[in-house]
Structure 1
Amino acid sequence: MNAPGKDLYPDVTASGGLGPAMREAAQLRGCDTGLAPWAVDVVSIETTRGFLSVDLAAEERRFLLSVRIPDFDWEIGSTDDLGLLVEAVAAWWEGIPFDELAERFGFLELDEFVGALERGEPTTSQWTRLLSSDFNRNQWNLLRRLRADEVLRNMFPTITHGAVRLRVKAMDAWSRRVLVYDENGERYVVRRVEVPEADWVEVPSGDLIAYLRAALAEE
């Protein structure tokens, strides 16, 4: 147990925060973690496999690594070695395959995380959560209709300002996505997110599923 008053993270303290400490460690090792230059105490790095977050344990020196996406959080390992942590973060950010990550960094515990992805989670769980929450009751009819389609049920759903957001890849915040707003059950408006000059498009009820399939199709 930590002795009272003992600083478990003198390297972090000397650097002025976890963010600066990680950037300095990465520079010494010649690697890129993707950490924003303004990050100080809060470390959350956007990657193609979710937001990679680092936290500091309170009772002992441990850098806690987790993956976060909307409504989901996996702890995937911890280490007391800042340099090793930075190298693992850089490898994750670069997109190194999971099996290679596990082999190179023994502190990573990826079985549960990878298994969830292989089982189609968190997408399946997210559909269930949205359809069981009274807070989303106004979107239930639209959610049920979208989930009934064999293609759209594989998209990761969230609710944004009353609209249903569908994203092709659950772990990739920048993958192809659309917003769908149910105006009256017979008429919908849809917008493709991050598409230059894209605007809301009115879509008749009978055309909705085909329109969304086309909008979310990989190019």
Structure 2
Amino acid sequence: MTAAGGLVSAMKKAAQLGMGEIWPVPSPIDDIIGIETARGTLSVVPATEERLFRVRVHIPGIIWDTPGFTWEIGSTDDLGLLVEAVVAWREGMPFDELAARFMFLELDEFARAVERGEPTALQWADLLSAEFHRRQWDLLRRLHTDEVLRHMFPTISHGAVRLRVDLFDGASRQVLVYEPEAERYEVIHTGAPGADWVEVPTGDLITYLRAALNEE
């Protein structure tokens, strides 16, 4: 990798050996590269003390953008195999075939839900059952009972629940909902000009969020 001039150059050279094509995107973080795909952005992170390449998927499609949703899908010390897997992922190979062909990949339930087009329902279920997020359970349940809001993709960000209209688009409409104490809510419409936290009465919360997320 050093002889090739770094990880990006090494991956490009390996790809040119008949494995396919990759287009790494620039990263402000040293030694990390990303490859944009229709199923999120793959990031390749080399280990610091051994020859090992960790592969992660990030949604939305910019690795260092926040907020986001990132999960690790495996690691390998074989650069050629790594590039083959990246190319296959980018070209849309079904997850079952990816798992069978590239044994180092760990395609968990969320990754498979992405392929089935069902990640939002799984994410709600995971958050509502995770002890780590017990403090947000009441708020999550309140939001999930609404027939519109349950179709928004939820994440937890610094103790607040983030709802995003489009899982795969980091610029899509989204809000943060924070419950500093029981039955008291603060909301910020992220991305809106001059956005700031607004206290919203309990009885108006669902209506307020629906309006914020459905603005054109």
Fold match (TM-score > 0.5): yes
User: Is 1:192 aligned to residue 182 of structure 2?
Assistant: no
Aligned partner of 2:126 among 110, 116, 129: 129
How many aligned residue pairs are there? Answer: 194
CA RMSD of aligned residues (A): 4.3
Structure 1 unaligned spans of 5+: 1-11, 57-62, 93-99
How far does residue 19 in structure 1 lie from its aligned partner after superposition?
Answer: 2.5
Aligned partner of 1:117 among 100, 114, 119: 114
Aligned partner of 1:51 among 38, 41, 64: 41
Structure 2 unaligned spans of 5+: 16-20, 47-52, 60-68, 100-108
Q: Distance in 2 between matches of 1:125 and 1:210?
A: 24
Do the aligned partners of 2:176 and 2:187 also contact (CA within 8 Å) in 1? yes
Q: Distance in 1 between matches of 2:92 and 2:215?
A: 27
How far does residue 125 in structure 1 lie from its aligned partner after superposition?
Answer: 1.8
Residue identity opposite 1:173 in structure 2: G
1:122-167 CA distance string (max 9 Å, x none):
2222212211222211111000011111111111111111111111
> How high is the TM-score relative to the length of structure 2?
0.65
In structure 2, the CA distance between the partners of 1:81 and 1:119, relative to structure 1 (3 Å rule), is closer
Larger radius of gyration: 1
Q: Distance in 2 between matches of 1:190 and 1:196?
A: 15
Aligned partner of 2:8 among 14, 19, 24: 19
> How high is the TM-score relative to the length of structure 1?
0.64
SS across alignment from 2:181:
coil
Q: How does 1:1-219 map to 2 (within 5 A)?
A: 12-22=1-11, 33=23, 35-36=25-26, 38=28, 40-45=30-35, 49-54=39-44, 67-69=57-59, 70=69, 72-73=71-72, 80=80, 101-102=92-93, 116-117=113-114, 119-217=116-214, 219=216
